């Protein structure tokens, strides 16, 4: 192949542009690609202090997605319920600080999606392996629903399910790729969503995993 036709070293070309999901929700294709190295360094720094773990749900299941947190507040679940906490129950210490690159990306992406002034205090980091899934849920443990949520996808692709305000509403199937950022808030803030069981489509940099992190204003 002529060198000028191989700009991406054999990888698929990065996607660009936006996919509108709802009145106040959008996928920003490839928005995180320029800062992937900083984001992955941030994930490594966070997980060195607060490793990924499989949490239990109040319903008696163990999540197939492994998770951890950074920032002032971290989301946890156990037999007693879902909540935000300042302390990592595994270490009994505060969650690791939010890496600067996470906060910057979240502010920029939120503003690009119509939510200026976003200032997240919590970041939930999820790790998916082939077969991991996330059943339909609403994000409603945050105190203030005026702030949006910014969700960053790295590694293997996934099919994000984007439903309505009721669990039974039909959900759209939205493929999300390495570097995509989903922002939602406002009238769409409480829509049901989830992730289909992941296929094993190894990513050149991250192998057989998908890392997703979601930035929120929880407190």
List of residues contacting Fe ion (CB under 5 A): 139
Pick from 139, 142, 180, 188 the residue near ligand MD6 by CB under 6 A: 139
> Could you say whether residue 68 binds ligand MD6 (CB under 6 A)?
no
* 157 vs 182: CA distance, rounded Å: 14
Q: Taking the C-alpha atoms of 108, 95, 44 and 109 in order, what is their torsion angle to the nearest 10 degrees?
A: -10
Pick from 193, 209, 217, 218 the residue near ligand MD6 by CB under 6 A: 193
Query: Helices 36-49 and 100-112, interaxial angle, to 10°?
Result: 130
* 159 vs 128: CA distance, rounded Å: 12
> Could you say whether residue 147 binds ligand MD6 (CB under 6 A)?
no
Pick from 151, 156, 198, 209 the residue near ligand MD6 by CB under 6 A: 151
Decide if 10 contacts 24 (C-beta within 8 A): no
**Count of residues of this chain found to bind ligand MD6 when the rule CB under 6 A is applied:** 12
> Could you say whether residue 127 binds ligand MD6 (CB under 6 A)?
no
25 interacts with, out of ligand MD6, Fe ion, none, CB within 5 to 8 A per kind: none
Structure tokens at 130: 């082939």
126 interacts with, out of Fe ion, ligand MD6, none, CB within 5 to 8 A per kind: ligand MD6
Give the residue among 23, 18, 35, 36 at the shortest CA–CA distance from 174.
18
Residues at the interface with ligand MD6 (CB under 6 A): 126, 134, 139, 149, 151, 160, 182, 184, 193, 195, 212, 214
């Amino acid at each position: 192949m002529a060198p000028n036709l191989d700009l991406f070293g054999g990888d698929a070309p990065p996607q660009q542009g936006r996919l509108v999901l709802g009145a106040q929700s959008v996928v920003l294709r490839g928005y995180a690609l320029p800062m992937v190295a900083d984001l992955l360094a941030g994930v490594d720094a966070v997980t060195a202090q607060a490793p990924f773990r499989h949490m239990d749900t109040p319903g008696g299941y163990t999540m197939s997605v492994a998770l951890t947190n950074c920032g002032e507040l971290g989301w946890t679940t156990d037999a007693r319920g879902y909540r935000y906490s300042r302390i990592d129950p595994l270490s009994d210490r505060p969650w690791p600080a939010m890496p600067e690159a996470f906060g910057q990306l979240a502010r920029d992406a939120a503003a690009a999606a119509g939510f200026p002034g976003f200032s997240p205090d919590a970041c939930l980091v999820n790790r998916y392996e082939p077969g991991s899934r996330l059943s339909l849920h609403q994000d409603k443990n945050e105190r203030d629903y005026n702030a949006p949520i910014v969700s960053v996808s790295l590694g293997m692709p996934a099919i994000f399910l984007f439903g309505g305000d009721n669990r039974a509403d039909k959900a759209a199937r939205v493929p999300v790729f390495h570097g995509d950022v989903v922002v939602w808030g406002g009238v769409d803030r409480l829509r049901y969503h989830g992730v289909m069981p992941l296929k094993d489509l190894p990513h050149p940099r991250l192998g057989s995993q998908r890392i997703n992190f979601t930035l929120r204003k929880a407190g």
